[in-house]
Structure 1
């Protein structure tokens, strides 16, 4: 029997998880695996970059789960600094270019193909946006470039453009390095992954931490000095001096190759797959990680969510199927957690605007409670917002903003969403209690009680 050929495009979480799982199931003489990665690093935690920049963890080695040498020792032909430039699906081959070898090009054939091309940072086409001193933060190479700029800079002024997850995490990292930080956000409040009323709590807290947070402003460009380096960020409302600029505008799926090959893309530009992570309409092509759209189990729609947790699961599913086993990825509920200094921020399920877009009618309930029993030392405020479907009372979404112990409480809601629970049913959940950990009624259950009452009051 001839040896099958598997080609993996992308050497981070999804791609190498797929390659590794396939190797566990198939021997080298049964399945030859070749993986291509354009960067200097493989199997790393991009989520850890802000904490590397902030000095909380060493890097980049500490952020690498498995080196290229370790993958090769497992009979995976991993070729670093090699970029895939074309997919030839008719002939079953990919064109590659070696980035450190004079740009030498070659073709590699495949019987099975895995696309794990990740996402790219949003970088608006503004004057000066590509000047030295302006940094996106998506790869370990990006993190190292930012650290090099910080080490070389004699100034201590930083501007972060965008107040999403990356923006607020990078703001904290720069504060920890002694910078004066200004965050510029186009929306009315930071964290557009929250409803505006919850984002306002984040805004207030960030300002209290000494992070100047300017919302409702549009960046128009980056000014440079005589050497061509960034010196300020301009907006419609003013100018903000900067010795370093960090872009935290989110990411979009990197599907340039897929689009050129005619593969199906969703509304966000992410690849569309079936439950086995096989690209729709293709028998021998799989895709996973930040380049795909996934099914939202609450709204029933596909959406793009760039998270390492999903990417690793996608890779495991793909590897099982490529290797002759069977696995599926049923979908997500949209759970995410972050922090800025000591403020924890979490959400799962739908926001109000997302529920409206899905055609759902709902009620909301917001409560302020404490993370511990009120009399226990260290008790801090926590705000919980809950969305529930009218008439049925089905939980639709939860947002949490608070201090220690707030963020991971969102997991309670994530499980309830996945199980399709109503808010009434949630009130009976048997959660752990002791004064150092929560009040007698956990804040999530308090919100569920209030939401259940709102459902009853709303009627049909």
Structure 2
């Protein structure tokens, strides 16, 4: 049976937010700062048990680096409600009626349904882990990791697993981070990867460095392998993962294949989606062609400022920025989200991995001709204690010398160096201009020529030579 809420009180508008994590609750909170409850009623729906949590922190909670789940929660449901947001947990929006400006929601526990009208709507439905349709994929002991509920379910499995063998399917960010988490838990870890090297967000030559480091940590890497089925025991629990060529025993399986935008609601409502399945918005994060609907976070596509194309990038940094932009616009202000350059960092044990901008295949795909250089350097002055090796790869556009991308693999002090390159990409700098950047130097922090600048010098020389 469906019921209706009767609409907002006369004289004030209602904002409905679908999704209670980074983008959704950032938008709700920012809108509340700008408009009080007498002017704007805010209703937020979240199908899970938690709000405003750090999904990026889940591997470190599973691995034991973060001891308590609640440390990952930035703002509790009670805190949101105290700020004048009508937050409804365990309530899933099942239908959007764009013409009637209302949403249908279902109580996950009771099944009761009701319609809620809106004046303005924010879609922050996030992304779902890729879960291929394979025999046994839904067996007990097979886990995707996207929410705190997912993380808790995995920890519950680890607590009662009969053995200490884990298989991670996929070697992207989530895959390598979960491999580390399971190593920290004392598991024997095998990573089954469809690509030729781990970390497909890097070029293969840089991924090869990650491969070597992971094997050095005791992780078994199986590349160029596609999982064909998950094998189970008589009790329904996973016992192995099979590829075309082999079987890998497993007491627990973690899927780290990636995510896709959770836009089934939007698709059913006829909202515009891009080539990657994410919602398309304008600079103000308003859904294209719909003046009263905004969208942000992992369910949208964003403009890549380097390639000029739309991309889907599921990162909390973008989601929080989207929420701020949306909340400002809904609240009567003005803000825009210009786009991204594709910066991301990760680690597996003490190995740090970073990238920003385009890979070689990205540049080729959009028709850019480039020069690529790779340099070896150290995190500190070579004579200073603790200096560790670092590899930097840099792409520059042929003829113009415009920076196109940077990848870094190394130990302590490597990953965050990518931020210099991210700023240079955003500013449209050439590698020649980068060589003159006035970066901080002291022997405990850097060689006299920072590794990023060494790569810029080599790239500038190569561009000039061409």
The two structures have a TM-score, normalised by structure 2, of 0.98
Offset of 1:58 from its aligned partner? Answer: 2.3
What are the within-5 Å matches in structure 2 for residues 252-401 of structure 1?
252-401=260-409
Structure 1: distance between partners of 2:11 and 2:149: 39
Q: 2:240 aligns with which of 232, 235, 248?
A: 232
**Deviations along 1:77-124, whole A, 9 cap, x unmatched?**
000000000000111100000011x20000000000000000000000
Determine the structure 1 residue equivalent to 2:67.
Answer: 58
Matched, 1:81 2:90: yes
**Deviations along 1:392-421, whole A, 9 cap, x unmatched?**
000000000000000000000000000000
Structure 1: distance between partners of 2:433 and 2:445: 22
Offset of 1:191 from its aligned partner? Answer: 0.1
Offset of 1:59 from its aligned partner? Answer: 2.8
Determine the structure 1 residue equivalent to 2:189.
Answer: 181
Offset of 1:376 from its aligned partner? Answer: 1.0
What are the within-5 Å matches in structure 2 for residues 111-150 of structure 1?
111-150=119-158
Structure 2: which 5+ runs fail to align?
A: 1-9
Structure 2: distance between partners of 1:427 and 1:312: 33
Matched, 1:217 2:225: yes
What are the within-5 Å matches in structure 2 for residues 161-200 of structure 1?
161-200=169-208
Offset of 1:242 from its aligned partner? Answer: 0.3
Q: After TM superposition, where is structure 1 displaced by more than 2 Å over at least 4 residues in a row?
A: none
Provide the secondary structure at the position in 1 that maps to 2:297.
coil
Structure 1: distance between partners of 2:41 and 2:352: 45
Structure 1: distance between partners of 2:245 and 2:71: 41
Determine the structure 1 residue equivalent to 2:165.
Answer: 157
Structure 1: which 5+ runs fail to align?
A: none
**Deviations along 1:32-69, whole A, 9 cap, x unmatched?**
00000000100000000000000001232110000000
Structure 2: distance between partners of 1:413 and 1:269: 29
**Deviations along 1:188-220, whole A, 9 cap, x unmatched?**
000000000000000000001100011011110
Provide the secondary structure at the position in 2 that maps to 1:356.
helix
Provide the secondary structure at the position in 2 that maps to 1:265.
coil
Structure 1: distance between partners of 2:245 and 2:381: 45
Structure 1: distance between partners of 2:155 and 2:161: 10
Structure 1: distance between partners of 2:160 and 2:384: 46
Matched, 1:9 2:10: no
Offset of 1:153 from its aligned partner? Answer: 1.1
Provide the secondary structure at the position in 2 that maps to 1:366.
strand
Structure 2: distance between partners of 1:307 and 1:28: 31
Structure 2: distance between partners of 1:220 and 1:408: 37
Determine the structure 1 residue equivalent to 2:5.
Answer: none
Structure 2: distance between partners of 1:112 and 1:357: 38
Provide the secondary structure at the position in 2 that maps to 1:339.
strand
Matched, 1:104 2:121: no
Matched, 1:90 2:96: no
Offset of 1:2 from its aligned partner? Answer: 1.4
Structure 2: distance between partners of 1:114 and 1:58: 33
Matched, 1:37 2:49: no
Structure 1: distance between partners of 2:373 and 2:92: 49
Structure 1: distance between partners of 2:372 and 2:394: 6
Structure 1: distance between partners of 2:111 and 2:358: 46
